[in-house]
Amino acid sequence: MTLNPADESLAARLPKGVLREVSPAYLEEPRGRYFGQAGLVAAPRDVEEAAAVVRACAEMRVPVVPRGGGTGLVGGQIMPEGPAPLVLSLERMTAIRGLYADEGVMLAEAGATLQQARDAAAGVGRQFPLSLAAQGTAQIGGVLSTNAGGVNVLRYGNARALCLGVEAVLPSGEIMHDLKRLRKDNTGYDLRDLLIGAEGTLGVITAASLALAPVPAETGVAMLVVESPEAALQLLSLAQARMAGGVTAFELIAGEGLDFLADHFPQVRQPLDPRPEWMVLVEVGLPAGLAADAALEGLFVAGAEAGLVSDGVIAQSGQQAAEFWSMREHIPEANRAVGAIASHDISLPLSEIAGFIRDAGAILASMGDMRINCFGHLGDGNLHYNLFPARGRHRDEYDDLRRELSGRIHEMVVTRGGSFSAEHGVGRLKTGDLARWGDPARLAAMRAIKQALDPAGIMNPGAILPMPT
């Protein structure tokens, strides 16, 4: 490859063989909002090389943009402005360094995909219980740096809850060795959790000690029709009490989403007829000795007696369970086919959800003619609240309205004690929201920490905190 003189000077300081051809894949992100600047891409083979790359960039004051699978939705992996950065790709650090089935621990390098980590755990009879649509591409380092969520947070927590320790390169180029296989370790400040969710602005995670969970002896899935989001929440409460917290997923699905599916993926079977206005997909993981279909049947009966559930279907086989999940997982694809005006990854206190859905629907109706597909991880209070053009209209017709719509939605969410970013992070897309809605003392502390750990400001500048001007 040919380099410009500025790049050459940096390239000369990098470890041999780490430079990669810049391809469009390094400069793009899934929603096409941000485009990266052409520059250097380095892919270290081990943590020492990663540290050498960061040290070279620190010396030359070249920004470093860490890159995992590139599946993030808020532009954290793309630096579109400012001095051209070096992209530090973890793609070559993909080893599973250790698998300790009896401990329930796995040591994985940052470039291993989430699917690879899940498969490795399954190979020793355990599970790595983080599951999300992009898992075939998303990498462990990115999953941790963004504290990713997904469908099993209700039972197993976010990525943060599944990480016991990290190895990371700090902005100084020093390596932090903290890959402990421990459930308890109270020896000073929680640097691990500070790096998790910092979106590459405080350092680069190069490997992680991950907590595995036992595979439940019995698992089952049901789709249950509920009258309203409020009924769904009461059903969740009932389910949690009956299952001793063994509800592994509790997903809300709106009739609008089922319509989108019918329009764009007619081949995806919809087991409930007539099409419900609201439904939930419930998954449980249970001990030996309690059949999952019996437990779900019991939940259905109790829910019906309480007036919460009007219809439902329990998967009778693993294949049927997979079909139910396939339906849920096609909803984001159907959304893309329809073409959203605006998407919102929000969370709310559970008891605020029903009121939010009601009020937001009314306010949006007064602002324009739209369709709303509100779905998501109800058990976590995490809704994907997405707006679509009315039938026969195109998203471009709403260009003037988009900003105002998102502003109003985030305002309604924050007013109710919710978050404008539940699981996707801040990246570059929501730095304005954070500046507007973030607690001032917390923001000041964040800036002080950034300044303390990265005084030269080289790590992923412009993500989370605005780029210094």
Q: Least distance to its own copies from the beta carbon of 337, Å?
A: 26
Considering only residues 107 through 126, tell me which ones interact with its own copies, judged by CB under 8 A.
125
Query: What is the smallest separation between the CB atom of 343 and its own copies, expressed in angstroms?
Result: 15
Among positions 145-184, residues that touch its own copies (CB under 8 A) are: 146-147, 149, 153-154, 157-158, 160-161, 170, 172, 174-178, 180-184
| Contact pick of 93, 202, 205, 360 for its own copies (by CB under 8 A) | 202
415 binds its own copies (CB under 8 A): no
Residue 449 found at the interface with its own copies (CB under 8 A): yes
Rounded Cα distance, 29 and 73, in Å: 7
Q: Which stretch binds its own copies (CB under 8 A): 29-37, 264-272, 317-325, 433-441?
A: 433-441
CA 262, 343, 346 angle in degrees (round to 5)?
A: 110
For position 382 contacting its own copies by CB under 8 A, the verdict is yes
- Choice between 241 and 262, CB closer to its own copies: 241
**Token code pair at residue 239:** 């389910």
Least separation in angstroms between residue 366's CB and its own copies is: 28
User: Out of 99, 434, 456, 467, which residue is the one contacting its own copies (CB under 8 A)?
Assistant: 434
Q: What minimum distance in Å lies between the beta carbon of 249 and its own copies?
A: 13
Quote the Cα angle for 316-329-331, to 5°. 120
Q: Taking contact as CB under 8 A, which single stretch among the options 34-42, 257-265, 387-395, 422-430 is the one that binds its own copies?
A: 422-430
The answer to whether residue 29 forms part of the interface with its own copies (CB under 8 A) is: no
Residue 316 falls in which region: left (phi positive, over 0), alpha (psi -120 to 50) or beta? alpha
By CB under 8 A, tell whether 424 contacts its own copies: yes
- Judged by CB under 8 A, the stretch of 252-260, 329-337, 367-375, 413-421 that binds its own copies is 413-421
Q: Which is nearer to its own copies, 110 or 198 (CB)?
A: 198
How many residues at the interface with its own copies, by CB under 8 A? Answer: 107
Question: Judged by CB under 8 A, does residue 198 bind its own copies?
Answer: yes
Residue number with CB closer to its own copies (111 or 425): 425
Which C-beta is closer to its own copies: that of 25 or that of 448? 448
Q: List the one residue from 420, 428, 458, 461 that touches its own copies (CB under 8 A).
A: 420
User: Closest CB to its own copies among 362 and 441?
Assistant: 441
Residue 171 CB, shortest distance to its own copies, in Å, is: 10
Question: 237 in the Ramachandran plot: left (φ > 0), alpha (ψ -120 to 50) or beta?
Answer: alpha
Within residues 39-78, the interface with its own copies by CB under 8 A covers: none
Distance (Å, whole) CA 145 – CA 304 = 42
* 452 near its own copies, judged by CB under 8 A: yes
Site for its own copies in 207-236 (CB under 8 A): 213-218, 233-234
Indicate the pairing of strand 218-226 with strand 309-314.
antiparallel
Contact status: 448 vs its own copies (CB under 8 A): yes
One of 44, 418, 457, 462 touching its own copies (CB under 8 A)? 418
Binding mask 267-306 for its own copies (x = CB under 8 A): ------------------xxxxxx---xx--x--------
- Angstrom distance (rounded) from CA 320 to CA 315: 5
**Closest CB to its own copies among 30 and 157?**
157
